[in-house]
Amino acid sequence: MAIERTLSIIKPDATRRNLTGKINAKFEEAGLRIVAQKRIHLTKDQAGKFYEVHKERPFYDELCSFMASEPVVAQVLEGERAIAKNREVMGATNPANAADGTIRKEFALSVGENSVHGSDAPETAAQEISFFFAGLEIVG
């Protein structure tokens, strides 16, 4: 099985509530390794660029404002099937639909304030990782 890397973001609703460690424990318990991590406060423009794919969605402005409202923790997670595994650990986008034991079931407040983001495919993972990290910052 190939080792993959995926981009994870711990969102402002979670950093605000001091949940970074509890969320990281979920990743590590699932066998994902945190091979890069930084806490940053995005500008609204930077958030808008990151989520450009959602530009036409009605929630785009709210999403960008939220992501720029307080610090986030951007991370690279590495492991077997890391992209799919991270999505399993996160749970469904809407916490109302998330399975027991997932991050969003335990911690998310709403579909917007849903605690974590994770890349959805190999192409987006590569693109999203390079948005936040230089190669030298990723130590596997």
- CA dist 140 and 125 (Å) reads 16
**Residue 62 binds to ligand CMP (criterion: CB under 6 A):** yes
Residues 4/14, Cβ–Cβ less than 8 Å: no
Q: Closest by alpha carbon to 113, among 15, 4, 1?
A: 15
Q: Closest by alpha carbon to 8, among 105, 104, 106, 109?
A: 104
Which of 6, 24, 114, 119 touches ligand CMP by CB under 6 A? 114
Residues 14/5, Cβ–Cβ less than 8 Å: no
Binding span for ligand CMP by CB under 6 A among 20-28, 55-63, 73-81, 124-132: 55-63
CB of 94 to ligand CMP, least distance (A): 7
- CA dist 31 and 28 (Å) reads 5
Which of 42, 63, 64, 68 touches ligand CMP by CB under 6 A? 63
- Catalytic, out of 8, 14, 117, 128: 117
CB of 114 to ligand CMP, least distance (A): 5
114 is an annotated ligand-binding site residue: yes
Residues 51/127, Cβ–Cβ less than 8 Å: no
Which of 69, 93, 124, 127 touches ligand CMP by CB under 6 A? 93
Point out the residues that are catalytic. Answer: 117
Binding-site sequence positions for ATP: 11, 59, 87, 93, 104, 114
Q: Which residues contribute to the site for ligand CMP (CB under 6 A)?
A: 54, 59, 62-63, 93, 111-112, 114, 117
